[in-house]
Amino acid sequence: MTLDLTLQRADLLCAQNFINGEWTAAASGARLAVLNPADQSLIGQVPDSAAVDAQAAADAAAAALVGWRATPARQRAQVIKRWHALILAHQDDLGRLISREQGKPLAEGRGEVQYAASYVEWFAEEATRICGDVIAAPVSGRRMLAVKEPVGVVAVITPWNFPAAMIARKIAPALAAGCTVVAKPAEDTPLTALALVRLAQEAGLPAGVLNIVCASRAQTPAVVDAWLADARVRKISFTGSTPVGKHLAREAAATLKKLSLELGGNAPFIVFDDADLGAAVTGLMQAKFRNGGQTCVCPNRVFVQDAVYERFAALLSIQVAALKVGPATEADAQIGPMINARAVEKILRHVDDAVSRGARLLVGGRRVREASGPHFVAPTVLADATADMLLASEETFGPVAALFRFHDEAEVIAQTNDTPFGLAGYFYSENSSRIWRMADALETGIVGINEGAIASEAAPFGGVKESGYGREGSRHGLDDYMHIKYLCQGNLQ
Ligand code: NAD
């Protein structure tokens, strides 16, 4: 069956920046084409902005901060709740837009909208629960309090793999905390972000509270550098690659901005010989092949214990070989196109390198559906992966499951933690003592225990080591957009 990805509400396909409550072109008039990664067809055009546009957005956000931070929390929450309702009301259109510009199958596009909406709802609720401490004064004649305040203007920079969820889980807590926002969505997927901003406008967000500026990859440094240099921007919230995250951390040091950095991972997925193998295969299929393997918490290294190695490889191969690759217009597609040519080249380079170093190719390992477009890659299983292969140290970010063999727990812990990254880790075991030992031993910010789908608005999402710092979701996700002010009243009689 062929699906129609045309939007019911054509005005959700926005073509301008949104600055100070107005839809505006880049000052230069430059445009950036947005292409469907499946067939390279043109979906729309957005402004290709420069520093002057970024400055206008920061001016608007700085001016709006005074009023928004003074708006009572319940009133802020009501606007965010209306935004949530509008997102759900337009979930079909938003899902279609995600599938068109990002490529994921429509069911996943719709699923992402619901996932994004769950963060918006969560933070609307959390806005009304912001509270500090009344501290028992250690000396007489004093009252001591800790109150929470919004950090100020926040710059949000998002990646292409979850065009709605990444925007939602940064902007919703910022607004809930009383911050104002300047945002730059990924150059490959700005349209979903613009549609979400259109709905936020309809929800009644005051002018200047949320501003969005689009830019090509070439123009992005000019836009972001303007915000980095601007002392009024007090926080950067970024999801993307570790090199860009480190660059932002270095440059943000000049004005000591607060940072949330959700960066690359190299997630281990460990299958012990005491695991429920069926559950482990199901968990790996969910964690690895969702979004075509283009998620930051995707297992990148699958460690399987000797005794179950060949059986696990066989069970996994059957399921991977059955995955249907295709564009989002095909109702039964499970793996969409990769986002761009750069991504395809990296995935195939990882596979070729692994095979040249002795890996066994069990399934896939090549382009497919070339008549449909250049970015389709067959879901792949590689056995006998080893630490010297590129895919052991670099995030593949594609539908490739590389199986490493291990003998005992101590060995796999050492291998697992032998990476500068530490976002997510997963393991499967039915032994309760081992479960707690492993949960302690993994150097990651997130641990999936007998579970492959770990993301939730109620949970703190984020990494350790070079996967970054800061947390999104949960009550901690709101704290990242606030600072603590200590009030001390003395000389009380
Ligand atoms: P990226 O870091 O290059 O891009 C992410 C965002 O940063 C985009 O909005 C981009 O325009 C912006 N950006 C790029 N260069 C910048 C600069 N110099 N200054 C400021 N902003 C800049 O990531 P990518 O190209 O989208 O993907 C590359 C790799 O990043 C992937 O292979 C993967 O390893 C990782 N990645 C991680 C996540 C995640 O969720 N943690 C998401 C996407 C990509």
pLDDT per residue as tens digits for the range 125-172: 999 999 999 999 999 999 999 999 999 999 999 999 999 999 999 999
Residues with CB under 6 A from ligand 1: 157-161, 184, 186-187, 217, 220-221, 224, 239-241, 244, 247, 262-264, 296, 395, 397
Provide the pLDDT for residue 300: 97
Ligand 1 atom, smallest distance to 394 CA: 34
**pLDDT tens, residue by residue, 257-275:** 999 999 999 999 999 999 9
pLDDT for residue 406 is more than 90: yes
Question: Using CB atoms within 10 A of its CB, is residue 42 exposed (0-12), middle (13-18) or buried (19+)?
Answer: exposed
Phi and psi torsions of 130, nearest 5°: -70, 125
Mean pLDDT, residues 221-226: 98
Residues 6+ apart with CB under 8 A from 410: none
**Closest C-alpha residue for ligand 1 atom 10:** 186
- What is the rounded average pLDDT of the residues 377-401? 98
Task: Tell if the pTM clears 0.95, that is, is over it.
Answer: yes
Ligand 1 atom 15 nearest Cα: 244
Q: Is the pLDDT of residue 321 over 90?
A: yes
Q: What is the mean pLDDT of residues 193-210?
A: 98
* 431 CA to centre of ligand 1 in angstroms: 38
Q: What is the mean pLDDT of residues 216-235?
A: 98
User: Average pLDDT of the chain?
Assistant: 98
Q: Is the confidence at residue 1, as pLDDT, over 90?
A: no
**Which amino acid residue places its CA nearest to atom 19 of ligand 1?**
221
- Candidates 216, 211, 204, 239; CA nearest to 227 is 211
Please write the tens of the pLDDT for every residue from 436-464.
Answer: 999 999 999 999 999 999 999 999 999 99
Candidates 244, 296, 344: which one to mutate for ligand 1, based on the most atoms within 8 Å of Cβ? 244
Residue nearest to atom 31 of ligand 1 (CA): 241
Tell me what pLDDT residue 333 has: 97
Residue the block writes with tokens 């203007």 = 153
Q: Which two tokens stand for residue 41?
A: 């067809």
Distance in Å, CA 444 to ligand 1 centroid: 20
> Do 265 and 395 form a contact (C-beta atoms < 8 A)?
yes
| CA 484 to ligand 1 center in whole angstroms | 30
Other beta carbons within 10 Å of 383: 24
> What are the residue ranges of helices labelled H in 128-181?
165-177
To test ligand 1's pocket by mutation, which of 241, 257, 421 has the most ligand atoms within 8 angstroms of CB? 241
- Assess contact for 127 and 306: CB atoms under 8 A: no
Q: Which residues contact 66 (CB under 8 A, 6 or more apart)?
A: none
Give the model's pLDDT for residue 286: 97
Using DSSP, state whether 36 is helix, strand or coil.
coil
User: How remote is the CA of residue 159 from the centroid of ligand 1, in Å?
Assistant: 5
Active site residues: 262, 296
Average pLDDT over residues 370-398: 97
- Of 468, 429, 428, 427, nearest to 445 by C-alpha is 468
pLDDT tens digits, one per residue of 51-64:
999 999 999 999 99
> Sheet holding 360-363: strands in order across?
360-363, 380-385, 400-406, 299-305, 267-271, 424-428, 446-449
Specify the residue with its C-alpha closest to ligand 1, atom 37.
Answer: 240
Atom of ligand 1 nearest to the CA of 423: 41
User: Ligand 1 centroid vs 398 CA: distance in angstroms?
Assistant: 15
* pLDDT value of position 424: 98
Report how far residue 429's alpha carbon sits from residue 441's, in angstroms, rounded to the nearest whole number.
14
Question: Distance between CA 268 and CA 427 in Å, rounded?
Answer: 8
CA of 155 to the centre of ligand 1 (A): 15
As given in the structure block, the two tokens for residue 8 are 């019911």
Q: Pairing mode, if any, of strands 424-428 and 446-449?
A: parallel
Please report, rounded to a whole number, the percentage of residues in the chain having pLDDT higher than 90. 99
Q: What's the gap in Å between 240 CA and the centre of ligand 1? A: 4
Which strand (E) or helix (H) includes residue 55? helix 51-70
Q: How confident is the model at residue 290 (pLDDT cuts 50, 70, 90)?
A: very high
Residue-level pLDDT at 196:
98
What is the number of residues in the chain?
A: 493
Closest atom of ligand 1 relative to the 158 alpha carbon:
9
Instruction: Name the nearest CA neighbour of 113 among 83, 130, 92, 139.
Output: 92
Minimum CA distance residue for ligand 1 atom 4: 240
- Closest C-alpha to 62, from 19, 125, 124, 23: 19
Atom 38, ligand 1: residue with shortest CA distance: 240
